[in-house]
Homo-oligomer: A and B are copies of this chain.
Amino acid sequence: MPSATRKRPTKAATKPPRWLSKEEEAAWRAIAQVIVKLPWALECQLQRDAGLSFLEYHVLARLSEDPEHTLRMSELAMLTDASLSRLSHLVKRLETRGLVRREADPADGRFTNAIMTKAGYKLLVASAPLHVARVRSLVIDAFSAGELRQLHDSSERLLARIETVG
């Protein structure tokens, strides 16, 4: 929804504002920093080493996982957590770069298939090692196996909350 359509602030329902404790506040600040800085660090690495954005990389990565290197736009949007509109713009750019190609689904013309080209696959394969190395050095290697399981679990719990709360 972001994009300033300038809303009047809803005159807060004056519910008892349950504030954050010192510890909660500190934890939240750290988490907030992570969700700002980690994406940026990954964007930088990918742009520098592969000329791809985080989303572009993941679009190619998802396509590469399909045996046909083909996915419907709507499927791809879900898998990459992008809006269909955003994906459409992005894939058009990838198309002009020759990394992806689009064609209407022969079986049902309402669907559009995104198909990774040879060049797209080559770029992904060339880019993956450095990207994975960065994911390792920034995230994975910072934790023991147990800690990582913990963090995985915490992440799933957060995702569940986000789904339900909207």
Chain A contact residues, CB within 8 Å of chain B: 1-13, 15, 17-20, 23-24, 26-28, 30-31, 33-41, 43-44, 47-51, 53, 81, 123, 126-130, 132-140, 142-143, 145, 147-152, 154-159, 161-162, 165-166
Contacts and interface: CB of A to CB of B under 8 A. Distances in A.
B161 A142 contact: yes
B136 A165 contact: no
A142 to B, nearest CB: 5
A132 B19 contact: yes
A11 B122 CA distance: 11
A91 to B, nearest CB: 15
A25 to B, nearest CB: 9
Contact of A20 (B7, B12, B136): B136
A17 B130 CA distance: 8
B27 A151 contact: yes
Contacts of A36: 39, 81
A44 B83 CA distance: 14
B136 A30 contact: no
Contact of A26 (B38, B138, B152): B152
